[in-house]
Amino acid sequence: MKILVINAGSSSLKYQLINMETEEAIAKGGCERIGIAGGKLTHKAHGETFVVEQDLPTHTDAISLVLKMLVDQKAGVISSMDEIDAVGHRVVASGEAFKKTTLVDERAMELMEEIKDLAPLHNPAAILGVNACRAVMPGKKMALVFDTSFHQTMPDHAKLYAIDYEDYKKYQVRRYGAHGTSHKFVAGEAARYLKRDIKELKIVTCHLGNGSSISAVKGGVCIDTSMGFTPLAGVPMGTRSGDIDVAAIDYLCEKKGMTMQEGLTYLNKKCGVLGVSGVSSDFRDLEAAKAAGNGRAALALDMFNYSCKKYVGAYSAAMGGLDVIVFTAGIGENTPAVRKAVTDGLEYLGVKLDDEKNALKNDGTIHDLSAQDSKVKILVIPTNEELVIARETAALC
Ligand code: AMP
């Protein structure tokens, strides 16, 4: 069985064709500058990279080019589109409209239209991606896989905000979380790697990348997560502030002469470690700046690490214990100093990092970084969100 995974952005589209027998991507790539002059497709297959430069006025043009590459004599990996059994689409926000992976049909697409506003940059793009695939591959089975699904198990006391309950019911304003496919994947991988039943484990999964979120996974289900109604909440991120007193936003808007919309753009794009450091949103740059004596870069890193550590502590309390901490995504997989700072001082919880193992370079495989006498396992697990989307799609289609 072969599943095509599509992750559509407003002007970009990433794809992977996954062979479900081996669970490996046999081709992957992306289209850039859709709807803007200078479109480009980068396609990787057979250990080679193929680049096509051509204008891609619409997402349908982009999907058409992707399919052309997949069946191309040289760059292709299948002989015809019939070899694609189903298509899985990544969708960022589901609201209350979808609790789990859902087959694409007219009703599902009507609901997708209704929840566009929940992720104004991402959800409309997902609709474009689905419609483009339906135009180019009519009749092909497709599934909508939501970043939020894994968090649907959160109990009310964790997912609700302390606002008027009637407003929650009417407007569905509550914590939804994000990166659900990643949290689900690494929690499952942790149990598999440790040869333990996930139902017996209390796991904190730290997805630390340009966007970061931390989840409490107890008995295999998510009971809390750091992102909120939108991905702006939780720990400070590359350019996002993370948690902030909402009254401070009103105050900042007034002082800086920003509308609420501009204020939100500011919090999403100009804050986080970029805002604090004034250097970069990239942790590699921050570490280099800190090493060169930049105090604000050091402060940004300290704030990030401190916030992550607080979530690990909070979620240990929420779960009534801790068996595993998982680090994943760009920072989690590649930045020993962050893992060290986040786990440092948690010895009282039974967390003890092995400094030598922590210093090892990421090789794309799972590593156990815990000291021999650590009660809590500390794992680095490369995430694979596309594989979760493919698995969910295969299970449904
Ligand atoms: P992600 O959003 O998961 O792609 O993570 C991206 C972030 O990971 C970057 O902005 C960097 O701050 C951080 N990072 C640190 N080291 C690496 C690395 N070797 N490769 C990729 N990302 C890295």
Domain count, the chain: 2
Q: Best substitution site from 181, 205, 210, 285 to test ligand 1's pocket, by max atoms within 8 Å of Cβ?
A: 210
**Residue 172 counted as domain residue:** no
How far away, in angstroms, is 286 Cα from ligand 1 center?
11
Is there a contact between 236 and 276 (Cβ–Cβ < 8 Å)? yes
Q: Best substitution site from 282, 286, 385 to test ligand 1's pocket, by max atoms within 8 Å of Cβ?
A: 282
Nearest-Å Rg of the Cα atoms of the chain is 21
**Residue 33 counted as domain residue:** yes
- Which strands form 221-225's sheet, in the order they lie side by side? 221-225, 212-218, 202-208, 324-328, 377-380, 367-368
**How many Cα atoms sit within 13 Å of 342 on the Cβ side?**
29
Give the residue among 79, 70, 84, 187 at the shortest CA–CA distance from 139: 84
Shared-domain flag, residues 213 and 334: yes
Angle (CA) 202-301-386 rounded to 5° is 50
How far away, in angstroms, is 210 Cα from ligand 1 center?
7
Q: Which domain holds residue 331?
A: 194-380
pLDDT digit string (tens) for the chain, length 397 residues: 999 999 998 899 999 999 999 999 999 999 999 999 999 999 999 999 999 999 999 999 999 999 999 999 999 999 999 999 999 999 999 999 999 999 999 999 999 999 988 887 789 999 999 999 999 999 999 999 999 999 999 999 999 999 999 999 999 999 999 999 999 999 999 999 999 999 999 999 999 999 999 999 999 999 999 999 999 999 999 999 999 999 999 999 999 999 999 999 999 999 999 999 999 999 999 999 999 999 999 999 999 999 999 999 999 999 999 999 999 999 999 999 999 999 999 999 999 999 999 999 999 999 999 999 999 999 999 999 999 999 999 999 9
Shared-domain flag, residues 266 and 374: yes
Shared-domain flag, residues 198 and 133: no
User: Which CATH number characterizes residue 323's domain?
Assistant: 3.30.420.40
CA distance 341 to 347: 12
CA distance 28 to 238: 26
Is there a contact between 382 and 366 (Cβ–Cβ < 8 Å)? yes
Is there a contact between 132 and 60 (Cβ–Cβ < 8 Å)? yes
**Residue 291 counted as domain residue:** yes
Does residue 354 have an active-site annotation?
Answer: no
Phi-psi bin for 219: left (phi > 0), alpha (psi -120 to 50), beta?
left
